[in-house]
Amino acid sequence: MTEHAPLIIDVAGTQLSADDRRRLAHPLVGGVILFARNWQDRAQLLALTAAIKAVRHDLLVCVDHEGGRVQRFRTDGFTHIPPMRALGELWMDDGKAGQGSGALRAMDAATAAGYVLGSELRACGVDFSFTPVLDLDWGESGVIGDRAFHRDPRVVAMLARALMQGLLQAGMANCGKHFPGHGFVRADSHTEIPVDRRSLKAILADDAAPYPWLSTVLTSVMPAHVIYPKVDGRPAGFSAKWLQDILRGRLRFDGAIFSDDLSMEGARRIDGQVVSYTDAGVAALNAGCDLLLLCNQSLGDGQAVDELIAGLADAQAAGRWQASRASEARRQALLPETLPQPWDDLMVQPAYMHALDLLP
């Protein structure tokens, strides 16, 4: 077993370059995150994912593919998954069928969405999608918006659980994000550092409530690049208090923890200082992250990716962070255990066709 391969990096184009292969072969690299620029059509995507697995069979091939506006592959047969808010609206619509009927229809539709999403990705060689969003729809956050199921954490938890069941039927793990909640703050952590000034009690009672309710089914979590100053001065993804004391200790979560993208503005500023990718990565690992995401840095000369790989290796040699067998086991647990259905078989499978009919 690999000692600990925490880095999830991207690749520049629709096929692997020699630089991509060199980086993916490095023992600190544990996976790849794909974007729309890596997509041309299904045949190309299948060839790309096969080429990634040929470098190392245990690399985790990931994508942000939630539905709505966050869906990387949209053509050549891929189903347009509705935004998660559509499932929350279905929950509220009982029509003439009696109280609670909307909730039951919405849960069935959420399972269908998870199954369609997961099985289509897996048919193209993708192992894992960063979904579902567990943030609450406060109506304030432009970056979350209709990506959230609902304002009520109970509705969010039930619809997320149903979606996860569909992912599981497709053989795919899940990722709850963005812990402990990004929906309350207006600022976008891609470009600035949001601050949520509520108390720990208020956050745990509301935005973070889905996490303990989903403790038996969550396989991974991504923390928010948000600062909650009443709890810690560091963003949640760099906070041992949030990740170790609260998420692992108090909420007893034992799955994988991903950092959010280290290239985001909210990830590069720790304790008021702008830090390097390496320092951000070391801080995230020491706070309790198992895996580190660095996105969109392989474009051009890819210098930032090479710097992070070399910097992380040097930091490990200098004892600034310790490899963790438990973290590596959590990464490997996200790899599918079943063979995917080939696309043409999937298209005529009764369960898949039924799931398509259930999507709102």
Enter the pTM of the model.
Answer: 0.96
What is d(CA 228, CA 215) in angstroms, rounded to the nearest whole number? Answer: 23
260 given a catalytic annotation? yes
The pLDDT value recorded for residue 142 is 74
Q: Residue 265: its pLDDT value, please?
A: 63
- Are residues 166 and 117 in contact, defined by beta-carbon separation less than 8 angstroms? yes
Provide the β-strand partners of residue 338: none
The rounded Cα 135 to chain-centroid distance in angstroms is: 13
Annotation marks residue 108 as catalytic = no
pLDDT value at residue 267: 59
Cis before 182 (ω within 30): no
Res 187: pLDDT: 72
Catalytic residue of the set 20, 137, 188, 260: 260
Number of H helices, E strands in the chain: 13, 14
Tell me the pLDDT tens digit for each residue of 140-192. Answer: 777 888 999 999 999 999 999 999 999 999 999 999 999 999 988 877 666 67
pLDDT of the residue at 237: 94
Close Cβ partners of 167 (under 8 Å, ≥ 6 residues apart): 114, 115, 117, 118, 129, 131, 173, 174
Q: What is the DSSP string of 196-246?
A: ----HHHHHHTTTTHHHHTTTT--EEEE-S-EETTTEEEEGGG-HIIIIII
Tokens standing for 15? 């096929």
pLDDT for 98-150, tens place per residue?
Answer: 999 999 999 999 999 999 999 999 999 999 999 999 999 998 777 888 999 99
CA-CA distance, 237 to 196, in Å (whole number)?
Answer: 14
- For the chain, list residues with pLDDT below 50: none
CA-CA-CA-CA torsion sign (211, 217, 223, 226): negative
Interatomic CA distance for residues 283 and 242, integer angstroms = 13
Strand partners, 129: 63
d(CA 115, CA 110): 9
What is the chain's alpha carbon radius of gyration, rounded to the nearest angstrom?
20
pLDDT at site 190: 60
Task: Please give the pLDDT value at position 143.
Answer: 81
327, 332, 311: which is closest to 4 by C-alpha?
327
The catalytic residue among 108, 190, 245, 279 is: 190
Could you write out the DSSP letters of every residue in 238-251? G-HIIIIIIIIIIS
Position 191 scores a pLDDT of: 66
- Locate all alpha helices (DSSP H) within 75-219, ordered by sequence: 84-92, 101-123, 153-169, 200-205, 210-213
